[in-house]
């Protein structure tokens, strides 16, 4: 059940769109992280430190997803898109439709690989 060139192109377009969306989200998130100098109390400082930590964690998760999308795009351009990184079998269209940057087939994902 290998993917056709047209299907790969469709997934590639979906990945490019998601990549652009993520880049905007990352940019917006990083602008939102404001350490500021207007801290009036230790409680406010603790709140701001916690919020900054939360924002940085979200930014890191977005960057990780961006990396996965970039890897999937590279695979598409290299003719390896839709193949499981672990076992080499086809990743189902069902999985790719939901998470087009998937690197593992359903069986390997369920095994926790």
More confident residue, 46 or 108: 108
Q: How confident is the model at residue 38 (pLDDT cuts 50, 70, 90)?
A: low
Q: How confident is the model at residue 82 (pLDDT cuts 50, 70, 90)?
A: very high
Helix (H, G, I), strand (E, B) or coil at 84: coil
More confident residue, 23 or 56: 23
pLDDT recorded at residue 34: 57
89 in Cβ contact with 83 (< 8 Å): yes
Provide the percentage of residues in the chain whose pLDDT is more than 70: 89
How far apart are alpha carbons 18 and 1 in whole angstroms?
A: 25
Q: Which residues, in sequence order, are bridge partners of residue 83?
A: 90
pLDDT recorded at residue 29: 78
* Residue 11: how many other CB atoms lie within 10 Å: 20
């Amino acid at each position: 059940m290998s993917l056709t060139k047209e299907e790969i192109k469709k997934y590639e377009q979906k990945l490019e769109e998601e990549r652009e969306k993520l880049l905007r989200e990352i940019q917006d998130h990083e602008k939102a992280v404001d350490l500021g100098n207007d801290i009036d109390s230790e409680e406010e400082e603790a709140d701001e430190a916690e919020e900054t930590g939360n924002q940085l964690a979200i930014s890191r998760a977005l960057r990780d997803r961006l990396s996965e999308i970039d890897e999937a795009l590279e695979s598409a351009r290299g003719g390896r898109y839709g193949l499981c990184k672990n076992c080499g079998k086809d990743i189902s269209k069902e999985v790719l439709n939901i998470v087009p940057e998937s690197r593992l087939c359903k069986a390997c994902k369920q095994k926790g690989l």
